[in-house]
Amino acid sequence: MHFLGITWNPNETLFNIGFIQIKYYNLLWITAFALGWFIMKKIFLNEKKSVEQLDSLFIYTVLSTMLGARLGHVFFYDWAYYSNHLVEILIPVRESASGSLLFGLIDGYEFTGFAGLASHGATIGIIIGTYLYTRKFPEFKMLWIFDRMVIPVAIGCFCVRLGNFFNSEINGKIVDENFIFATKFIRDSDDLHPSKALGITQEKTLNAAYAAIENNPQFSQYLAEIPYRHPAQLYEGIGYLLIFVLLYFLYWKTDKKNKPGYLFGLFFVLLWTVRFLVEFVKKSQGGFEESLGLLSTGQWLSIPFILIGLYFMFKKTKTA
Protein backbone atom coordinates (compact mmCIF):
# COMPACT_ATOMS: atom_id res chain seq x y z
CA MET A 1 0.00 0.00 0.00
CA HIS A 2 1.50 3.31 -1.12
CA PHE A 3 0.15 5.41 1.73
CA LEU A 4 2.67 8.24 1.84
CA GLY A 5 4.55 7.90 -1.46
CA ILE A 6 3.41 9.93 -4.47
CA THR A 7 3.75 9.22 -8.17
CA TRP A 8 5.12 12.13 -10.21
CA ASN A 9 4.50 12.06 -13.95
CA PRO A 10 3.89 15.57 -15.35
CA ASN A 11 4.17 16.42 -19.01
CA GLU A 12 7.05 18.88 -18.75
CA THR A 13 6.09 20.47 -22.10
CA LEU A 14 3.38 23.11 -21.86
CA PHE A 15 2.93 23.48 -25.61
CA ASN A 16 4.81 23.39 -28.90
CA ILE A 17 5.46 26.17 -31.40
CA GLY A 18 6.61 24.29 -34.46
CA PHE A 19 9.77 22.42 -33.47
CA ILE A 20 10.22 24.53 -30.31
CA GLN A 21 9.00 23.06 -27.03
CA ILE A 22 7.86 25.44 -24.29
CA LYS A 23 8.46 23.65 -21.01
CA TYR A 24 7.83 24.42 -17.36
CA TYR A 25 11.60 24.59 -16.93
CA ASN A 26 11.93 27.29 -19.60
CA LEU A 27 8.99 29.23 -18.17
CA LEU A 28 10.44 29.11 -14.65
CA TRP A 29 13.81 30.41 -15.91
CA ILE A 30 11.94 33.33 -17.52
CA THR A 31 10.03 33.83 -14.26
CA ALA A 32 13.33 33.90 -12.33
CA PHE A 33 14.74 36.67 -14.52
CA ALA A 34 11.47 38.62 -14.47
CA LEU A 35 11.29 38.51 -10.66
CA GLY A 36 14.95 39.45 -10.51
CA TRP A 37 14.40 42.56 -12.63
CA PHE A 38 11.35 43.58 -10.58
CA ILE A 39 13.15 43.18 -7.22
CA MET A 40 16.29 44.95 -8.42
CA LYS A 41 14.20 47.80 -9.85
CA LYS A 42 12.69 48.32 -6.41
CA ILE A 43 16.18 48.33 -4.87
CA PHE A 44 17.65 50.66 -7.50
CA LEU A 45 14.84 53.18 -7.08
CA ASN A 46 15.24 52.98 -3.30
CA GLU A 47 18.91 53.88 -3.66
CA LYS A 48 18.38 56.59 -6.28
CA LYS A 49 19.85 54.64 -9.19
CA SER A 50 18.45 54.81 -12.71
CA VAL A 51 16.40 52.13 -14.42
CA GLU A 52 18.65 52.54 -17.48
CA GLN A 53 21.62 51.42 -15.38
CA LEU A 54 19.57 48.46 -14.16
CA ASP A 55 18.62 47.46 -17.71
CA SER A 56 22.29 47.26 -18.67
CA LEU A 57 23.06 45.20 -15.55
CA PHE A 58 20.14 42.91 -16.39
CA ILE A 59 21.52 42.18 -19.85
CA TYR A 60 24.98 41.43 -18.46
CA THR A 61 23.44 39.18 -15.79
CA VAL A 62 21.21 37.17 -18.12
CA LEU A 63 23.98 36.49 -20.63
CA SER A 64 26.61 35.67 -18.00
CA THR A 65 24.23 33.44 -16.05
CA MET A 66 23.21 31.33 -19.02
CA LEU A 67 26.70 31.09 -20.47
CA GLY A 68 28.26 30.30 -17.10
CA ALA A 69 25.61 27.73 -16.22
CA ARG A 70 26.03 25.97 -19.54
CA LEU A 71 29.82 25.91 -19.52
CA GLY A 72 29.79 24.87 -15.87
CA HIS A 73 27.75 21.79 -16.70
CA VAL A 74 29.92 20.98 -19.70
CA PHE A 75 33.27 21.21 -17.89
CA PHE A 76 32.34 20.21 -14.33
CA TYR A 77 29.95 17.36 -15.02
CA ASP A 78 29.99 16.01 -18.58
CA TRP A 79 33.18 16.92 -20.45
CA ALA A 80 33.65 13.28 -21.52
CA TYR A 81 30.52 13.60 -23.66
CA TYR A 82 30.86 17.19 -24.89
CA SER A 83 34.51 16.80 -25.83
CA ASN A 84 33.17 14.64 -28.67
CA HIS A 85 30.08 16.78 -29.33
CA LEU A 86 31.43 20.32 -29.37
CA VAL A 87 28.59 21.68 -31.50
CA GLU A 88 26.12 20.87 -28.69
CA ILE A 89 27.87 23.02 -26.08
CA LEU A 90 26.32 26.35 -27.11
CA ILE A 91 23.61 25.18 -29.52
CA PRO A 92 20.47 23.64 -27.89
CA VAL A 93 20.45 20.44 -29.95
CA ARG A 94 21.45 16.85 -29.30
CA GLU A 95 22.62 14.08 -31.58
CA SER A 96 19.79 11.68 -32.30
CA ALA A 97 19.61 8.25 -33.88
CA SER A 98 15.84 8.45 -34.33
CA GLY A 99 16.05 9.76 -37.87
CA SER A 100 14.59 13.13 -36.90
CA LEU A 101 15.40 16.27 -38.87
CA LEU A 102 16.44 19.45 -37.10
CA PHE A 103 14.44 22.37 -38.55
CA GLY A 104 13.26 19.79 -41.07
CA LEU A 105 16.63 20.03 -42.81
CA ILE A 106 19.54 18.67 -40.76
CA ASP A 107 19.63 14.92 -40.24
CA GLY A 108 20.80 13.33 -37.01
CA TYR A 109 19.97 16.13 -34.54
CA GLU A 110 16.94 17.18 -32.55
CA PHE A 111 16.08 20.43 -30.75
CA THR A 112 16.18 19.85 -26.99
CA GLY A 113 16.83 23.17 -25.30
CA PHE A 114 19.75 23.32 -22.88
CA ALA A 115 19.25 20.24 -20.73
CA GLY A 116 22.41 20.75 -18.69
CA LEU A 117 22.98 23.87 -16.58
CA ALA A 118 25.18 24.05 -13.46
CA SER A 119 24.62 26.48 -10.58
CA HIS A 120 28.33 26.67 -9.74
CA GLY A 121 29.05 27.72 -13.31
CA ALA A 122 26.22 30.25 -13.20
CA THR A 123 27.74 31.80 -10.06
CA ILE A 124 31.15 32.16 -11.69
CA GLY A 125 29.49 33.61 -14.79
CA ILE A 126 27.59 36.22 -12.76
CA ILE A 127 30.78 37.29 -10.99
CA ILE A 128 32.59 37.73 -14.32
CA GLY A 129 29.59 39.50 -15.86
CA THR A 130 29.36 41.90 -12.93
CA TYR A 131 33.06 42.68 -13.18
CA LEU A 132 32.63 43.54 -16.86
CA TYR A 133 29.62 45.70 -15.99
CA THR A 134 31.58 47.70 -13.41
CA ARG A 135 34.30 48.26 -15.99
CA LYS A 136 31.73 49.96 -18.20
CA PHE A 137 29.97 51.69 -15.27
CA PRO A 138 32.79 52.50 -12.80
CA GLU A 139 30.42 54.39 -10.50
CA PHE A 140 29.25 50.97 -9.28
CA LYS A 141 31.31 48.78 -6.94
CA MET A 142 31.12 45.01 -7.34
CA LEU A 143 30.31 44.38 -3.68
CA TRP A 144 27.53 46.98 -3.75
CA ILE A 145 25.94 45.10 -6.64
CA PHE A 146 26.53 41.67 -5.13
CA ASP A 147 24.97 42.66 -1.78
CA ARG A 148 21.78 43.52 -3.62
CA MET A 149 21.82 41.02 -6.47
CA VAL A 150 21.88 38.01 -4.13
CA ILE A 151 18.28 38.77 -3.12
CA PRO A 152 16.74 38.10 -6.56
CA VAL A 153 19.30 35.37 -7.27
CA ALA A 154 18.02 33.43 -4.25
CA ILE A 155 14.42 33.43 -5.51
CA GLY A 156 15.74 32.61 -8.98
CA CYS A 157 17.49 29.54 -7.59
CA PHE A 158 14.15 28.42 -6.13
CA CYS A 159 12.48 28.78 -9.54
CA VAL A 160 15.20 26.74 -11.24
CA ARG A 161 14.94 23.87 -8.74
CA LEU A 162 11.16 23.89 -9.15
CA GLY A 163 11.77 23.56 -12.89
CA ASN A 164 14.07 20.60 -12.21
CA PHE A 165 11.23 19.00 -10.25
CA PHE A 166 8.84 19.37 -13.19
CA ASN A 167 11.52 17.86 -15.42
CA SER A 168 12.00 14.90 -13.05
CA GLU A 169 15.74 15.60 -13.04
CA ILE A 170 18.38 15.99 -10.31
CA ASN A 171 16.36 13.59 -8.19
CA GLY A 172 17.36 12.13 -4.85
CA LYS A 173 18.57 8.72 -3.82
CA ILE A 174 16.23 5.75 -3.39
CA VAL A 175 14.09 5.88 -0.26
CA ASP A 176 11.45 3.64 1.32
CA GLU A 177 7.95 4.22 -0.05
CA ASN A 178 6.63 4.99 3.46
CA PHE A 179 8.94 7.99 3.81
CA ILE A 180 6.73 11.07 4.02
CA PHE A 181 8.28 12.77 0.96
CA ALA A 182 8.91 9.62 -1.10
CA THR A 183 8.33 10.32 -4.80
CA LYS A 184 8.17 7.92 -7.74
CA PHE A 185 9.59 9.82 -10.73
CA ILE A 186 8.17 7.91 -13.68
CA ARG A 187 10.08 10.06 -16.17
CA ASP A 188 13.48 9.62 -14.52
CA SER A 189 15.53 8.33 -17.46
CA ASP A 190 17.81 6.34 -15.13
CA ASP A 191 14.88 4.34 -13.74
CA LEU A 192 12.86 4.06 -16.94
CA HIS A 193 14.62 5.19 -20.11
CA PRO A 194 12.36 6.83 -22.71
CA SER A 195 13.25 4.21 -25.34
CA LYS A 196 12.28 1.44 -22.93
CA ALA A 197 8.98 3.15 -22.12
CA LEU A 198 8.17 3.37 -25.82
CA GLY A 199 9.23 -0.21 -26.42
CA ILE A 200 7.17 -1.59 -23.55
CA THR A 201 3.95 0.24 -24.37
CA GLN A 202 4.28 0.47 -28.17
CA GLU A 203 2.87 3.98 -27.91
CA LYS A 204 3.87 6.57 -30.51
CA THR A 205 4.71 9.40 -28.07
CA LEU A 206 6.54 9.52 -24.76
CA ASN A 207 3.65 11.24 -23.02
CA ALA A 208 1.30 8.45 -24.04
CA ALA A 209 3.87 5.83 -23.02
CA TYR A 210 4.41 7.27 -19.55
CA ALA A 211 0.66 7.71 -19.05
CA ALA A 212 0.10 4.06 -19.98
CA ILE A 213 2.75 2.87 -17.53
CA GLU A 214 1.19 4.95 -14.76
CA ASN A 215 -2.47 4.09 -15.40
CA ASN A 216 -2.71 0.86 -17.40
CA PRO A 217 -2.75 -2.25 -15.15
CA GLN A 218 -1.07 -4.12 -18.03
CA PHE A 219 2.17 -2.32 -17.19
CA SER A 220 1.87 -2.42 -13.38
CA GLN A 221 4.99 -4.58 -13.17
CA TYR A 222 7.12 -1.85 -14.73
CA LEU A 223 5.51 0.82 -12.55
CA ALA A 224 6.33 -1.22 -9.45
CA GLU A 225 9.98 -1.51 -10.55
CA ILE A 226 10.45 2.27 -10.50
CA PRO A 227 11.87 3.13 -7.05
CA TYR A 228 10.76 5.90 -4.75
CA ARG A 229 13.29 8.70 -4.35
CA HIS A 230 13.92 11.81 -2.30
CA PRO A 231 12.50 14.90 -4.08
CA ALA A 232 15.91 16.54 -3.63
CA GLN A 233 14.99 19.41 -5.95
CA LEU A 234 12.24 20.49 -3.54
CA TYR A 235 14.48 20.22 -0.48
CA GLU A 236 17.00 22.47 -2.19
CA GLY A 237 14.39 24.83 -3.59
CA ILE A 238 12.66 25.37 -0.25
CA GLY A 239 16.04 26.10 1.32
CA TYR A 240 16.69 28.76 -1.32
CA LEU A 241 13.24 30.25 -0.77
CA LEU A 242 13.97 30.66 2.95
CA ILE A 243 17.32 32.28 2.10
CA PHE A 244 15.48 34.77 -0.12
CA VAL A 245 13.09 35.68 2.71
CA LEU A 246 16.00 36.21 5.11
CA LEU A 247 18.04 38.35 2.70
CA TYR A 248 15.00 40.40 1.72
CA PHE A 249 14.30 41.09 5.40
CA LEU A 250 17.92 41.99 6.18
CA TYR A 251 18.10 44.41 3.26
CA TRP A 252 14.88 46.30 4.00
CA LYS A 253 14.70 46.08 7.79
CA THR A 254 18.33 46.25 8.97
CA ASP A 255 21.54 48.12 8.16
CA LYS A 256 23.40 44.98 7.00
CA LYS A 257 23.37 46.26 3.42
CA ASN A 258 25.68 49.06 4.53
CA LYS A 259 28.45 46.62 5.45
CA PRO A 260 30.06 45.89 2.05
CA GLY A 261 30.12 42.18 1.31
CA TYR A 262 28.05 40.99 4.28
CA LEU A 263 24.84 40.03 2.45
CA PHE A 264 26.91 38.60 -0.40
CA GLY A 265 28.93 36.49 2.03
CA LEU A 266 25.85 35.35 3.96
CA PHE A 267 24.22 34.31 0.69
CA PHE A 268 27.26 32.23 -0.28
CA VAL A 269 27.43 30.53 3.12
CA LEU A 270 23.74 29.69 3.28
CA LEU A 271 23.15 28.75 -0.34
CA TRP A 272 26.16 26.50 -0.70
CA THR A 273 25.57 24.94 2.71
CA VAL A 274 22.06 24.01 1.59
CA ARG A 275 23.54 22.59 -1.59
CA PHE A 276 26.22 20.70 0.37
CA LEU A 277 23.67 19.12 2.72
CA VAL A 278 21.13 18.17 0.04
CA GLU A 279 23.90 16.43 -1.91
CA PHE A 280 23.87 13.71 0.77
CA VAL A 281 20.43 12.57 -0.45
CA LYS A 282 20.86 13.55 -4.11
CA LYS A 283 21.54 11.08 -6.88
CA SER A 284 25.04 11.38 -8.34
CA GLN A 285 25.30 13.96 -11.13
CA GLY A 286 28.67 12.67 -12.31
CA GLY A 287 31.73 14.84 -12.68
CA PHE A 288 35.03 14.25 -10.92
CA GLU A 289 33.72 12.73 -7.67
CA GLU A 290 34.90 9.22 -8.55
CA SER A 291 38.51 10.36 -8.72
CA LEU A 292 38.38 12.38 -5.47
CA GLY A 293 36.02 10.19 -3.47
CA LEU A 294 34.39 10.93 -0.10
CA LEU A 295 32.19 13.82 -1.35
CA SER A 296 30.12 14.44 -4.47
CA THR A 297 31.18 16.81 -7.24
CA GLY A 298 28.57 19.33 -6.05
CA GLN A 299 29.93 19.20 -2.51
CA TRP A 300 33.55 19.66 -3.57
CA LEU A 301 32.53 22.66 -5.68
CA SER A 302 30.47 24.15 -2.83
CA ILE A 303 33.26 24.21 -0.23
CA PRO A 304 35.28 27.06 -1.84
CA PHE A 305 32.14 29.20 -2.14
CA ILE A 306 31.30 28.66 1.55
CA LEU A 307 34.82 29.72 2.53
CA ILE A 308 34.61 32.80 0.31
CA GLY A 309 31.28 33.67 1.93
CA LEU A 310 32.73 33.39 5.44
CA TYR A 311 35.58 35.69 4.43
CA PHE A 312 33.23 38.43 3.22
CA MET A 313 30.95 38.06 6.25
CA PHE A 314 33.67 38.47 8.86
CA LYS A 315 36.32 40.60 7.19
CA LYS A 316 36.75 44.03 8.71
CA THR A 317 35.31 46.76 6.53
CA LYS A 318 34.16 50.31 6.92
CA THR A 319 30.43 50.78 6.94
CA ALA A 320 29.22 52.25 3.65
Binding-site residue positions: 161
Strands 6-8 and 183-185: parallel
Residue pair 12/168 in contact (Cβ under 8 Å)? The answer is yes
CA-CA distance, 151 to 146, in Å (whole number)? 9
DSSP 130-166: HHHHHHH-TTS-HHHHHHHHHHHHHHHHHHHHHHHHH
DSSP 89-118: TTSSEEE-SS--EETTTEETEEE-------
CA-CA distance, 236 to 280, in Å (whole number)? 12
**282: helix, coil or strand?**
strand
CA torsion through residues 124, 127, 133, 134, sign: negative
The secondary element (H helix, E strand) that includes residue 184 is strand 183-185
Q: Interhelix angle for 262-278 vs 142-166, to 10°? A: 30
CA-CA distance, 60 to 299, in Å (whole number)? 28
Residue pair 146/133 in contact (Cβ under 8 Å)? The answer is no
